[in-house]
Chain A
């Protein structure tokens, strides 16, 4: 299988910070808004470079979403920054009416998503945000897998006309996507080819999926790992192409099993190509305090869980 050496250990939110600075330099229509989490979101560099285009809005996320919608009127491309929980659940109606229904070109950038937020616990660990956002008509949902890809995605969303939900996380995580690997919104990436099982993953769990594929290979099982960084619009062709060969699927995500990547794939397969599918996702529960590693293990999102799910999917063929 194709190997992906670990290039570094960096948080995906820092990829967002670097990407924001770069797109800010390239396009003066880009403005950024932050609800009192500039350091956490790594937006400091943009704020320092472009103080006139940076808007500190305080702890008032609903107003931030409305202001961002308003700024598109006049041709700006606003990037909002706060934690995933406060970027979605807290402001769902503001996003729904003022941004999505109004067709506004706002980039909702959300850090500290999922369990790997860690010690702050379940109040902050949203596991429902992918579902909330993908249900909104016209909303693109992007969950990049490492620092390099988060930077690429942050730059790419500026050219995507329409609202975007860009989800990333807090902890340092292996950097394994080569900087020159092309990134295109809506185009899934086959990271390693295989013939026995398709493993579809997004975000932090792409790395876990690659680790699992390496484990499976030792046992003579050939797994195909597909990085579905864009959950909406889903790259249906890539999913069907993979599954038509492997004839079973595993979905991996740092999200509730309801409403996330797994459900998007299951819906597609039910419609086009009924296939056994196993979920690696949080089993309809809230999270809790702990380290990222402890939480991923306890909630069934670690490498052994992906291995187990792959074997189960294969057995169901």
Chain B
């Protein structure tokens, strides 16, 4: 089982993600540079958090033209697993691998804090190790996490079970009070219709050990492992 973490100029969660996969999950992982032209064989590719290209123009807008992104788009279209965390999510939106766009947080502040997210669909490669209706405690750290899409897209997301996580309180109640950034319908993470590309604003790699305050993020990495093992059998 082999993972890859892609570093863009301005990525700053790449090594945290490497640590989570390598040292916590004990999996093999390569660090890839965005300027590479070739993509090796991987079971899962992770686009990490940060500020690729300084968030110039729009968060993730310039990263989509990185040479390696062409290969990553082909990999996604062939069914390869991709998870985009925070800026990685923004890149997946700009690349149209996921529908919708990010707006600035409703309160116009950078928000860095622990939040709760409620699982909305456990039947995906990224959430199969999480109990239905489970609430995870994972941190967010972003300026542009206010997810938006048009009504038609939203209905499709709902009908296809593509909304994987919603911001909630610790009991799993989804309300405006539990919405940190103004995100449409409290959306914290979505996947594509084929369920092989997943983007989320919370940082699971920052919640993989008790000393970090929460181990809940590990459940996402465990889900990915389960899925890869099952698909290899």
Q: Decide whether A and B assemble into one complex.
A: no
